[in-house]
Structure 1
């Protein structure tokens, strides 16, 4: 079988959580890795997830923890063979789904990740994964895309009211997942998506109760499309609390790392994913000013 070139884009997130969470994450990761299977399966919203504590290492004197997640996809309903036989899947205890690969860096509250599945679901799956290693349900865990610049556009900078401009290609709707915003699901079901078109949307949003599009919905859309290759424009304009005009461009505002691999498989193997994640973290670390990272550091216990 010939080798196939696959493009990979690694997204970076800051983990907003108390320091206790990271200490608990390390303990829970080690316990999972040292268990008989080194992995666990659980159900969330009727879909199975497998979480595997894959690897523990150190890069530039920082401990890093690799986690692989396979999220079940229910879109495959039947199996058809060349003799014309059509039947259902007999999975036994296995899962058919999409792999997600993550690297957690507790010392700087950083998470790197990529998937060969629907890119828009990366942040949601990462959040689900972190919660499985959360030893205290009183600890809240949130993920924010990592701005390229220390004072760059971040989601909390979105004004209370304004206009969101989106330019989206058909490919952005190719694989819609459960966490997709409802407006995106509605557009994805539209007959328009049967044609090779680009949609340009200008959505007025506000934090007022009667707003057609709420500020939270606008932020949800930005989060969904921030790492989606089908999104060609992602901009916000509005007024700040001081009455100044604001223009935020989220099209290329967040840190990412791109690479290509050659593989004979239809999926990305765990060994290759680890190499990519380690390379991405090294590139990120080298690009940071020597005075420190834009991500806060966890105090040593």
Structure 2
């Protein structure tokens, strides 16, 4: 009977390289420790009209690599009312809490890495990861940038991107419904269109060029690849063009980023923090086995 009440959840842990100054990584460790030792190790703050709860958890060590666990719940504004079987419809009383999607992260300062997963919209994971790091950033002039971690054997692929070509993108419209504010401009413009109310397959063939005056630049394409390369709703992401010698180039960017996949069985619709720790522990171990303790 217990098995009948369980559901299987597929999990994908994504990995991001952190670009920041050495001072940020030193400050992060002391800031995390201070938050953990304080009477309240969690707090709620507003960002872009959405509430976030951020909670510092435990330190974990793998060989000589320390990883710092942080949990985030990001408010889901689409839940506006509750309805009961009796037909009663009412608003949701939160009593100083929030209703939203959980995000689980490990930050490893020594190897400049943040890894994590969510049971909510996967397209928002990178944005929430950056939000987490910003909460530990005491220097507002500090610039923090995240890039998906490339698979080791695929590392030269981005360097081979031609200066002029076409980007072919195929994406499910429903996966864009919760596009984060720091998503590429094209994604934000698509999000505003009414057809996102229906789940349709969107297909784009986008010509780009490094030449001045091009509506879509090579840098724009890099940004789109960075955003969609590890996105569940993206089913095609490739570039065609010619290299400097005139030879034809076709690059598939749909599966170049490193990730760890797992499946859990649970009685709950949400993922418990204990389960998240098990998943992240295994994920970072796999990562260190492949990349080693230093990059």
| CA deviation after TM superposition for structure 1 residue 83, in Å | 1.5
The match for 2:101 is 98
Structure 1 residue matching 2:155: 3-state secondary structure: coil
* Structure 2 residue 199 is the aligned partner of structure 1 residue 200: no
State the distance in 2 between where 1:162 and 1:228 align: 22
| CA deviation after TM superposition for structure 1 residue 247, in Å | 3.8
Deviations 1:199-236 (A, max 9, x none): 33210123455333244433332222122122111112
Structure 2 residue matching 1:43: 3-state secondary structure: strand
* Structure 2 residue 51 is the aligned partner of structure 1 residue 48: yes
The match for 1:57 is 60
Contact 1:118 1:177 in 2 (8 A): no
Question: In structure 2, do the counterparts of structure 1 residues 185 and 22 end up closer, same or farther at CA, with 3 Å as the change threshold?
Answer: closer
Contact 2:126 2:146 in 1 (8 A): yes
Structure 1 residue runs of 4 or more that deviate by more than 6 Å after TM superposition: 241-244
* Structure 2 residue 278 is the aligned partner of structure 1 residue 275: yes
* Structure 2 residue 27 is the aligned partner of structure 1 residue 24: yes
* Structure 2 residue 238 is the aligned partner of structure 1 residue 224: no
Contact 1:205 1:215 in 2 (8 A): yes
| CA deviation after TM superposition for structure 1 residue 174, in Å | 5.3
The match for 1:299 is none
* Structure 2 residue 257 is the aligned partner of structure 1 residue 254: yes
Gaps of 5+ in 2: none
Contact 2:154 2:256 in 1 (8 A): no
Question: In structure 2, do the counterparts of structure 1 residues 174 and 138 end up closer, same or farther at CA, with 3 Å as the change threshold?
Answer: closer
User: Normalising by the residue count of structure 2, what TM-score does the alignment of the two structures yield?
Assistant: 0.88
| CA deviation after TM superposition for structure 1 residue 261, in Å | 0.6
User: Normalising by the residue count of structure 1, what TM-score does the alignment of the two structures yield?
Assistant: 0.87
Question: In structure 2, do the counterparts of structure 1 residues 233 and 34 end up closer, same or farther at CA, with 3 Å as the change threshold?
Answer: same
The match for 1:128 is 131
Question: In structure 2, do the counterparts of structure 1 residues 86 and 105 end up closer, same or farther at CA, with 3 Å as the change threshold?
Answer: same
Contact 2:150 2:258 in 1 (8 A): yes
* Structure 2 residue 226 is the aligned partner of structure 1 residue 237: no
State the distance in 2 between where 1:75 and 1:32 align: 31
Range 225-234 or range 240-249, more displaced: 240-249
